[in-house]
Structures are given as C-alpha cells and as structure tokens.
Amino acid sequence: MILDRRRMTALIGQGGSIFVTLFGLLILTFVIGRIMPADPVRAIVGEDATREVYETVYRQLGLDRPMWEQFFLYVRDVATLDFGTSIRTGQPVLTDILRVLPATIELATFAILFGAIVGIPLGVLAAVNKDRWADHLIRVFSLMGHSMPIFWTGMIGLLVFYAWLGWVGGSGRMDQFYIGLVPERTNFLLIDSAIAGEWEVFRSAINHILLPASLLGYSSSAYITRMTRSFMLDQINQEYITTARVKGLSNRQTIWRHAFGNIRVQLVTIVALAYGALLEGAVLIETVFAWPGFGSYLTANLLIGDMNAVMTCVLVVGVIFIALNVISDILYRVFDPRTRA
C-alpha cells in the first residue's frame, strides 16, 4: 500500500515534469514564431501589399494585442488542435502533417532497424575485443557514419547505386508511373500496397526505401555501437560473468546469454532515443531523395517563411521526442525485474 502511494507520487511527479516541458516547448515555439524578427504578416501578404491589407492581416493575426494575450490565444489554439492554415498548401497544418508523417515514419523505422541490426552486434564485438584491431576498426567505421554529411552521402549514393549501378530505385517513394495506383488508406506505402495486393508497387517501394534508409541507419548506428560497447564493457567485468564461465558456458554463450541479457533494457532506451535523432537526418535525406515526408514538408515551408507550418512542425518533433523519452522510460520499467517490484 505504501509502495503504491510512492509509485503514484512518482507517476504524478513524472507527469508534472512532462507537462512543464510541454509548456516550455510552447513558449519556445511561440517566441520563435512571434517575437523573432521575421515578419509573419509579410509572409502572408507578400512584399508589395498596401498598407490597409497589411493592417487588416496584422489585426487578424492578433498581433495588435498584448504579448501575454497572444500567448494565451496560441495556447488555446494548440490545446484545441488548431494549428492554423499553411500558406503554401492552403490546408490546415495538422492535416498536412498527418498526411506526410507516415512516409517519414516508414523511412525512419527501416533506418532504425538497419542501425540496430548493424550497430548492436558491432558494439558487442568491439567490447569483447577491447583495444584490439577489431575494436579500432569498428570505432573508425562507426565514427565515419557519425561524421558524414548525410545529404552528401545520399547524393553520392544515388549517383553510384542508382545512376551508375542501377541496384536501387531513384528518388521518391516509388517509380513515377506507379504514383496514384494504390489507394491511400494509411499513407504507409508498404502497408497500402500490400493491402491492395499491388506487389509491383510494393517491390518498387522497397527498392526506393533501401538506400535512404540504410544511409540514415548507418549514421545512427554510430551512436548505437558506441553505447552498446560501453554498456557491454560495464557488464563484462561483473562477477556474474565469472559465475557463468565457472558453470562451463563458452565465451560466446556467456556474452550473449548473460552479459547481453543485462544490457537489453538499456539498449531499448538507446534505440528509442536514436529513433528520435533520426528525424534530424530525415530532414536532410528527404530533401535529397525527394521523399514526400515530414522533412520535405518542413524545408519547403522554411524556404518560403511559412512560420505557422514551421512552428507546428517543430512542436510535433518536440512532442515526438518527449513521447519517445516517456516510452523508453516505460519500457525500462516493464523489462527490468529490479524496477518491477
């Protein structure tokens, strides 16, 4: 009973801190969107609008009211999920974002799978061979992934694997002539095409996602590898590893069954955080691959100064980040027997 109450307080405390962070996020986006030099009215009415038009829009946006009132209205709008209309598309921003987000999630999910499948074993291998050549090699390989400008690698990748070798599809989510063939249900192309039974489209989509996803995954594997290595090093020197060896388990069994089992929970956290960081690379790689996702949407609006859409995008990314943090926290609690009690 006491334990329950303690857990309740902890939960409330955590909920409170999430709330405060969200509120801070709103302040930040508000500050960037309203107070910074860019003129939101100019972005709407254009450079050569008359004074009257300018004034009207100025009042429509509520810019004549005091700052705290503007902020209050902003919070009210956000709370009712009213993020305004995008100047570029003329659609509500939220509708736009929901339409483009699945493409990015599809890309990011493939990327994180690739990053984890490559990064985790490499990290384990590096830890087991600490300070030997395998460790050094893996370090350079993963730092390489961390150091490459992803927009450039994307371009070189397109040049080599698409233009020269023809191994993968080019830009976009599928070949041009398939566009519009599959009814949009979930906007996850792979799911939609599978539902519709359009396996040609499905294959084309796979072909197109391979290159951007693996490049994105490679860049995130650097972080995963490094963290896996350091987690494993912590475990390998533990006494229970000796116990496992004493029992007659081979080196490999000891590493994978015992040491690796102990870092699984931490890895879940790391992968969740890496997933969030992927969004950053996604903005750049989507531009290069003309991937019609969140990143392309964000940059397109950035370039024309559509602050309404931009701020909403930033807010969405912030919320996704916070959500990932919370999820990894929950997973930690669920998977670790020590925190379950």
Partner 1 sequence: MSDPVLDIRNLSVRYAGAPGPAVRDVSFTLGRERLGIVGESGSGKSTLGRALMRLLPSAEITAERMQFEDVDLLNATERQMLKVRGRRMSMILQDPKFSLNPIRKCGDQIAEAYRTHFRCRPAEARQKAVDMLEAVQIREASRVYDLYPHEVSGGMGQRIMIAMMLLTDPDLVIADEPTSALDVTVRLEVLRILDGLVREKGIGLVMISHDLSLVRNFCDRVLIMYAGRVVETLNARELDQARHPYTRGLLAAQPRIAGGRGILPVLKRDPAWEEEPAR
Partner 2 sequence: MSDTLPPQPKPKSPQWVTATGNILRFLFRQPPSAFGLVVLVLLIGSAVLAPVLATHDPYVQDLTATLLPPSSAHFFGTDELGRDVYSRLMHGSRITLTIVFLVTITVGPIGLFVGTVAGYFGGRTDTVLMRLTDIFLSFPSLILSLAFVAALGPSLNNAIIAISLTAWPPIARLARAETMTFRRADFISAARLQGASPARIIWKSIVPMCMPSVLIRLTLNMATVILTAAGLGFLGLGAQPPLPEWGAMIATGRRYMIDSWWLVTFPGLAILAVSLAFNLLGDGLRDALDPKQMHRR
Residues of the shown chain interacting with partner 2 in the complex, contacts defined by CB under 8 A: 17, 20-21, 24-25, 28-29, 32-33, 36-38, 136, 139-140, 143-144, 146-153, 155-156, 159, 163, 276-277, 279-280, 283-284, 287, 298-299, 302-303, 305, 307, 310-311, 313-314, 317-318, 321-322, 325
Q: Name the binder of 28 from partner 1, partner 2, none, CB < 5-8 A by kind.
A: partner 2
Q: Could you give the C-alpha distances from 132 to 5, 92, 139, 226, 229, in angstroms and in order?
A: 50, 56, 11, 16, 13
Q: Name the binder of 298 from partner 1, partner 2, none, CB < 5-8 A by kind.
A: partner 2
Least distance from partner 2 to the Cβ atom of residue 302, Å: 5
Least distance from partner 1 to the Cβ atom of residue 255, Å: 13
Nearer to partner 2, 22 or 206 (CB): 22
x/- mask, partner 1, residues 261-300, rule CB under 8 A, reads xx--x-----------------------------------
- One DSSP character per residue, 221-253 reads HHHHHHHHHHHHHHHHTSHHHHHHHHTT--HHH
Q: How far apart are CA 66 and CA 172, in angstroms?
A: 45
91 binds partner 1 (CB under 8 A): no
Q: How far apart are CA 158 and CA 168, in angstroms?
A: 8
Q: State the virtual CA torsion across 27, 30, 34, 38 in degrees, nearest 10.
A: 110
Nearer to partner 1, 203 or 245 (CB): 245
Local structure of residue 60 (DSSP, 8 states): H
Pick the piece of the chain touching partner 1 (CB under 8 A) from 93-101, 213-221, 258-266, 286-294. Answer: 258-266
| Helix/strand/coil for 336 | coil
| Helix/strand/coil for 92 | strand
Nearer to partner 1, 260 or 297 (CB): 260
Q: How far apart are CA 226 and CA 206, in angstroms?
A: 29
Q: How far apart are CA 320 and CA 14, in angstroms?
A: 17
Nearer to partner 1, 263 or 271 (CB): 263
- One DSSP character per residue, 8-54 reads HHHHHHHHHHHHHHHHHHHHHHHIIIIISSS-HHHHHH-TT--HHHH
Q: Name the binder of 153 from partner 1, partner 2, none, CB < 5-8 A by kind.
A: partner 2
Of 218-247, binders to partner 1 (CB under 8 A) are 238-240, 242-247
Nearer to partner 1, 249 or 322 (CB): 249
Q: How far apart are CA 188 and CA 23, in angstroms?
A: 31
Q: Name the binder of 262 from partner 2, partner 1, none, CB < 5-8 A by kind.
A: partner 1
Q: Name the binder of 203 from partner 2, partner 1, none, CB < 5-8 A by kind.
A: none
Tell me how many residues contact partner 1 (CB under 8 A).
Answer: 21
Q: How far apart are CA 302 and CA 312, in angstroms?
A: 12
CB 161 within 8 A of CB 211: yes
Of 321-340, binders to partner 1 (CB under 8 A) are 336-338
Q: Nearest 5°: CA angle at 265, between 261 and 268?
A: 120
Local structure of residue 255 (DSSP, 8 states): I
256 binds partner 1 (CB under 8 A): no
Nearer to partner 2, 88 or 203 (CB): 88
Which residues form the interface with partner 1 (CB under 8 A)?
238-240, 242-251, 258, 261-262, 265, 336-338, 341
